[in-house]
Each structure stands twice: as structure tokens, then as C-alpha cells.
Structure 1
Amino acid sequence: MTAPFRYPRFFVTSPSPCPYLPGREERKVFTELNGQHASELNDALGRIGFRRSQSVAYRPSCAGCTACVSVRVVNDGFRPNATQRKLLKRHSDLEVHACRPWATGEQFQLLRRYLSARHPGGGMAAMDESDYADMVEQSPVNSFVIEYREPGIDGGRGRLVGACITDQQADGLSMIYSFFDADDTSRPGLGNYIIMDHILRARAAGLAYVYLGYWVKGSDRMAYKTRYRPLEVLGPDGWSAFDPDSDIVPDHAPRMRELV
């Protein structure tokens, strides 16, 4: 069988402080996504736990630590619980638009407010508008900015309250980065709503999964990802049902046979 793209070259970053677990260091393995087969490569790498950032696909490769575990929601099996149903009803008035990957000042200002409220002093805190534009627009794959707006007046555009940079892969949607108005007390649970909206929209489009990135056991920042069931985790033997009580050992070695 002939590979649909050139065999990728992988590189490893230098260690840096882990943003999730204090006292640990992170290291990533990555490769470039470019050329006419970038989407196919991104799909293949996504199935073995890679994430996209601009024109790079990466995943953890930390010495002595395997805490980061790739997770994805199985869309057909998802049934919102009582709390989730309330959130779906509360935010059902929002107008949702899948926009081309073009950064706007309105999106950037929303991101700035989100980072200030939820991640002050984090790695993205120093982003300027040019950095944000690169984050959105430097995509070699099929990407969108999904916007969530309150109803407009007299046919006008309503207030932007949430957004998500999203990739459409062959088997699902990959949520690259979502942000929202975290200070709006009239709109609680917006982040959870955005995830559920992706699950329901992907299911309606016949896509099997929503990829949520990495779950880190012991990290409060990542705990929300386990609220969406059925959830699958990537281990040495492939994807399997999530069990919060098991000791999950992720697969952090690229399985190159799956790239062809």
C-alpha cells in the first residue's frame, strides 16, 4: 500500500515546566503539517493522540511521566444528564455560526477577557492580536471558528459570548481551543455548553467523535473532560472505554503503521 503523504519527520522539544502538574517538566514530539496531504496526515496523527497547533502536530513525550491521556467523546452514545440538559436549554437561544478561519478583533477581545478571568499569568497571557491571528489562520487543514452569539436586534449581529477553533477530521471534530465570556453571570456553564454543542453537531453530521485533547489525572483544570460520557482514552492497545478508577497508561510512542 502506498502512503498518501511523505513519511513525516518527528522532532522533540526541550524540557519546560509542566503547566498542569507542579514540579514536573513537559516535553513534546512534533512534526510539520504542510503540503497537499496535510489533512490526511493530521487525521492519521489525531487517531494516535496528536493535537494540532497552527501548522504543527504534537503530543506529549515526557521523560518519566505519562499523566497526559488523549480522550474523545463517542457521540452516538452521549446522553446529557440533568445538569447538562439545563445548560442546553439555558443557552438554546444562542446563534451558532461556523466561520472561516479568519481572526477578528472581537474574537481577540473575548479571548483576552477569558484568559484574564481563567488563566491569568498562563502561557497565552502575553498573546497579542498578531499571535491570535496566527493561531487561527495558520491552519493547513479544514478548520473553522465556531462563534456563539446572543440574538441580535433588528437582524443585527448579537454579542459574541463564546468561540471555538475547531478542526473537522475524517472521523470527528477536534476542539483545538475554546474560550468564552467567563465573567457573564447570566451565562453560566458556557464552556460546557460549547462542548455539548460540538457533540450534538458532530453526531448530526455523522461524525463519530469529538476529540477533547488531553486529560490529566490529578489536574483540576482537566477534570471537566470526564463529564462527557461515553468517553474513550488512548492506551497502548488503542482506544478503549474510560474508567476513572483505573491506572491509565497512555500510548506516547507514535504507531507509524497507522500513518499509511
Structure 2
Amino acid sequence: MSSLKTLVFFATPAHECSYLDDREATTMFVDPRANVDKKLYSQLTALGFRRSGSHYYRPHCEQCNACVPVRLDAREFRPDRSQKRVIKRNADLSFNLVPARFSEGYYALYARYIEERHFDGDMYPPTREQFASFLVDGATESYFLEMRKGELLVGLAVIDALDDGLSAIYTIFEPEENSRSLGTLAVLWQIEEAVRRNLPYVYLGYWIKECRKMSYKTRFRPIEALLDGRWQSLPDDGAEPA
């Protein structure tokens, strides 16, 4: 079994940044041959790594530190007015947590989501192999949160269980249901689930202050950021702590 002391890391060549224009990015990956169990995955997440399929990675850019790992304190969280409205708006939905797996129904939702909302990104066009390698493969304890209106699947959130919390990997939803704010709803559900499991944190991946698509993350409070090697409270204005 691999450990932090025995892990080997690789860095990619510089490539175009997916989030900020006119910047290059470098990504550090854990050796894909490593045997990453739940304990090691939890340790890596606390150090700012994320999972994408079977790959564990974190940004490693020489001239930029805009990608900041963030996590929520689930036990101290209180929804604001906007988040309460999201909960009320979706009172007609049911939730079911199941082990991550491939199904044609899941893939059909994924394909519609990518084709409608990410047709200009590197995940277009969607494929079944892409769905499996991105959302099913890799984790030792990974789940899909089904969000359904009656029998109709309207949203799907990918969630990993860690020793100290839950990791919000990705959320997809029916494009026609955009007004429901299902991405926010999925995070709210995960916060409640972390509390039910007596786990302190929900990890939300990376936050970039200059990236509008990530602004929703700082609407959840209290939120912590991994800065200078330690987790610190992120002020309400999103500035780095003094």
C-alpha cells in the first residue's frame, strides 16, 4: 500500500489554462501506479489534491497561485436566504445515494449536460468512455447522488467519502432545469450528509477569485482556504487573510 512518504509525483508540461485567459498551467499528478486507499486519498485531499477518475492531481504553476483549495465547515454552516430559497424551490425532488456506476440513463443526462453547457470545453463531445473514466473509475468509496422529480432523473452529483468529510467531485443536471440551481442544492445536501455522518468538512475543490463560474463556492459560509500550507478562514470579501 502506498503512503505519502513513498508516493512519486509527475508534473505536466506547461499548457493553456482552462480558467484564466493568457496564462499557462502546470499540473502535478500522483504516479498512476500508486495504490491510493481511502486514508491516503484523505491525506492528499487535505493537502489540496483532487481526484479525476483514477488520477489525483493539484495545480503546480510557477508564476501563478490563483487556484485555491477550499472546504466548508459542515457543522457550523447555516444557509443564507438564497440557499433557503433553493431548498424550498426543490421541495418536490427526492434524493437517493447509490454507489458510482455506469448506466445509460446516467450517461444520457451527462451527454445532454455537456452538449448544452460545455460545448466549448475539452469534455466536448461526450462519450461513454469519457463518462466512465471521469466519474466512475478510481475512487475507493464514491457515490452518485440521484436527484429525481418523480421517476425522472434531473440531477446527478458525484461524491467521494473521506476520513474527515465528503468531496464534491462534479454535478450534472438536466439543462432545462437550470432554474432549480441543482449545483447549489447538491452542495447543501452534502453538507447535511456530512453532519449526519459526523464528518467536519465538505471539500469543494479549487476556487479562483477571478473566475466568475466559481463565485458560488464562497457563498457557503464558513469556508476555509488552503493558503501557505495551512487551512485558514476565507474572509467574506474573498481576500486572502492578512
TM-score norm. by structure 1 comes to 0.86
Say if 2:229 is the partner of 1:230: no
Matching residue of 2:123: 124
Say if 2:201 is the partner of 1:201: no
Matching residue of 2:44: 45
SS in 2 for 1:183: helix
Say if 2:153 is the partner of 1:160: yes
Match for residue 181 of structure 1 among 155, 160, 174: 174
Q: Which runs of 4+ in 1 moved over 4 A?
A: 3-6, 33-37
Matching residue of 1:114: 113
SS in 1 for 2:120: coil
Instruction: Give me the whole-angstrom Cα distance separating, in 1, the residues matched to 2:229 and 2:51.
Output: 23
SS in 2 for 1:66: coil
1:6-17 maps to which residues of 2 (within 5 A)?
Answer: 7-17=6-16
Give the paired residue count. 240
- Is the contact made by 1:150 and 1:159 (CA closer than 8 Å) also made in structure 2? yes
SS in 2 for 1:193: helix
Instruction: Give me the whole-angstrom Cα distance separating, in 2, the residues matched to 1:87 and 1:245.
Output: 23
Higher mean displacement: 116-125 or 31-40: 31-40
Q: 1:97 deviation in Å?
A: 1.2
Per-residue CA distance 1:187-221 (angstroms, 9 max, x = gap): 52111111111111111211111100000011111
Instruction: Give me the whole-angstrom Cα distance separating, in 1, the residues matched to 2:33 and 2:224.
Output: 29
Instruction: Give me the whole-angstrom Cα distance separating, in 2, the residues matched to 1:47 and 1:204.
Output: 21
Instruction: Give me the whole-angstrom Cα distance separating, in 1, the residues matched to 2:6 and 2:98.
Output: 32
Instruction: Give me the whole-angstrom Cα distance separating, in 2, the residues matched to 1:130 and 1:37.
Output: 22
Matching residue of 2:96: 97
Match for residue 202 of structure 2 among 210, 230, 235: 210
Matching residue of 2:146: 147
Matching residue of 1:170: 163
Identity of aligned residues (%): 33
Amino acid at match of 2:187: I
SS in 1 for 2:64: coil
Instruction: Give me the whole-angstrom Cα distance separating, in 1, the residues matched to 2:205 and 2:18.
Output: 15
SS in 1 for 2:180: coil
Q: 1:114 deviation in Å?
A: 1.6
TM-score norm. by structure 2 comes to 0.92
- Is the contact made by 2:115 and 2:126 (CA closer than 8 Å) also made in structure 1? no
Instruction: Give me the whole-angstrom Cα distance separating, in 2, the residues matched to 1:33 and 1:143.
Output: 18
SS in 2 for 1:246: coil
Per-residue CA distance 1:39-77 (angstroms, 9 max, x = gap): 221111000100011122100001201100000011011
Please provide the CA RMSD for this pair: 2.0
Matching residue of 2:77: 78
Instruction: Give me the whole-angstrom Cα distance separating, in 2, the residues matched to 1:213 and 1:232.
Output: 11
Structure 1, unmatched stretches of 5+, are 152-157, 250-260
SS in 1 for 2:176: coil
Q: 1:126 deviation in Å?
A: 2.2
Per-residue CA distance 1:115-167 (angstroms, 9 max, x = gap): 2332221011123012212223312421111111112xxxxxx1111111110
Per-residue CA distance 1:81-117 (angstroms, 9 max, x = gap): 1111111122123121111111111111211222233
Instruction: Give me the whole-angstrom Cα distance separating, in 2, the residues matched to 1:237 and 1:30.
Output: 18
Instruction: Give me the whole-angstrom Cα distance separating, in 2, the residues matched to 1:120 and 1:248.
Output: 37
Structure 2, unmatched stretches of 5+, are none
Matching residue of 1:18: 17
Instruction: Give me the whole-angstrom Cα distance separating, in 1, the residues matched to 2:156 and 2:123.
Output: 16
